Amino acid sequence: MHRQRGGHSNKSQAGLSLTELVVSMAVAAILMGIGIPSYQYVTYSNRVLTEVDSLRGDMQYARSEAVKTGATVTVCPSDPGQRHCIKSSAWDGGWIIFRDVNNDATVAAPGNILRVRAAFSVTPHDRFVADSGLGYVSFDREGFTTSFPATPSGFVTLRLHTTPDNPRWTRCLQIFSTGMTLTEKIDDRQGNCS
């Protein structure tokens, strides 16, 4: 075996020098600093869109059922057992869709319930609140809303606020007296839906 002076072998050592390690860690920190906020935005934004679209889809379903059957169909926030309306402007606890045979926004019989949506499963809890005290939406056989609160704009807005609260992630569902629905983002300058 051939040895060099000083008793060292010819084998080269593998690994990173201290400088290479520090540079690698700095690059990784920069990439994480850029990537994590983007990931959070995508995660929160997708969750909020899914929750808003869930209610919007159910509103459209209720409207189409009212037109199809020629009877009033109501959507309302529900109790924990999800069998009764709670007449609240907070919709994040879940909602039900039912044939409103008495036109009074109450479930006359369990068989009239068409669809049940559970509370949002997000912890900490997102808030989904309607303005103008909107505690239910009823659609008549022509697809128009009945007993709809009179507003200057002609629509009622439900705002979904995330936890933690950030206007970039807040979304709105606007429900018009004609029965139409529209999803909007917050206008950051004013804090209102655009």
Q: Give me the pLDDT at residue 167, please.
A: 72
Q: Locate the domains of the chain by residue range.
A: 18-193
Q: Is the pLDDT of residue 156 over 60?
A: yes
| 18-193: CATH topology | minor pseudopilin epsh fold (3.55.40)
What's the average model confidence in pLDDT over 103-123? 85
Show the tokens assigned to 134: 């909107």
Q: What is the pLDDT of residues 84-110, one digit of tens each?
A: 888 888 888 889 999 999 989 889 999
* Cβ contact 77:91 at 8 Å: yes
Q: Give me the pLDDT at residue 129, please.
A: 87
List for the chain the helix, strand, coil content (%; round to 5). 30, 25, 45
What's the average model confidence in pLDDT over 154-167? 80
What's the average model confidence in pLDDT over 60-86? 90
pTM for the full predicted model: 0.74
Measure the CA–CA gap between 58 and 64, rounded to whole angstroms: 10
What's the average model confidence in pLDDT over 27-49? 72
User: Averaging pLDDT over each range in 1-5, 19-23, 40-44, which range is the top one?
Assistant: 19-23
Measure the CA–CA gap between 67 and 163, rounded to whole angstroms: 37
Return all residues near 160 (Cβ < 8 A) that are at least 6 apart: 48, 51, 52, 92, 126, 127, 128, 170, 171, 172, 173
Q: Give me the pLDDT at residue 190, please.
A: 54
